[in-house]
Amino acid sequence: MTTEPRYPIPAKTTRVEIRVVNSRFIATIGEARSVEEARVFIDAIRGEFADATHNVYAFRVGYGGSVTEGMSDDGEPPGTAGRPALSVLRGADLGDVVLVITRYFGGTKLGTGGLVRAYTQSTQEALADLPRGERVERRSGQITLPYALYEQAKMLITAHGGDISKEDFAGEVTLLVVFPIDACSAFEAALAELSAGKVKIGWE
């Protein structure tokens, strides 16, 4: 798992197509939170384009200092397809991304340089069209507090970007909460200030 609390990801699966000397290159790019999800994505595209000459892929799962990469030339000359596609993905400042470039051979060989350019261009155009979202790593916790602080605590949770997933009203109020990881420390400090240090959150 990445240690980055927030990072850019694909917002939805996107597809573009280019033609190079009668060959069709269809690039499909989307999100994969794990290597398993990347494999499922790749297999789905392979199934959709089962009659294609090649289904080249590249993926990067994770972000920053913790990334798992994979690629395949799928029968193209070594280093002419998966590697240039992965190289472009590396420079895209994007995490949890999987790409499959489907090629229908058009009858004219492109040569190694032509293939590298075609797969590079396909990846660049797919990234240019791709809408981006954001992955926010989150952490769960539990707070038990007196009724007198309940309303103020709820406002504090909202102010720090947290959500209440469950409320239990007994002798005291117990709240199950979820926060963006990079908001946890600030919320802890604010909660301590609100309760004069008497109420603490127990993180899972």
pLDDT digits (tens, 9 = 90+) for 83-115: 999 999 999 989 999 999 999 998 888 999 999
Same domain, residue pair 63 and 97:
yes
- pTM here is 0.72
Model pLDDT for residues 170-184, shown as the tens digit of each residue? 999 999 999 888 889
Count up the domains in the chain and report the number. Answer: 2
What HEC string does 87-99 produce?
HHHHCCCCCCEEE
The answer to whether residue 1 sits within a structural domain is no
Same domain, residue pair 80 and 149:
no
Residue 136, pLDDT score: 81
Q: What domain range includes position 158?
A: 137-203
Residue ending a domain, among 110, 135, 160, is 135
Read off the pLDDT of each residue in 118-142 and give the average, rounded to a whole number.
Answer: 93
The answer for residues whose C-beta is within 8 angstroms of residue 119's C-beta and 6 or more apart is 25, 56, 76, 80, 81, 82, 84, 85, 101
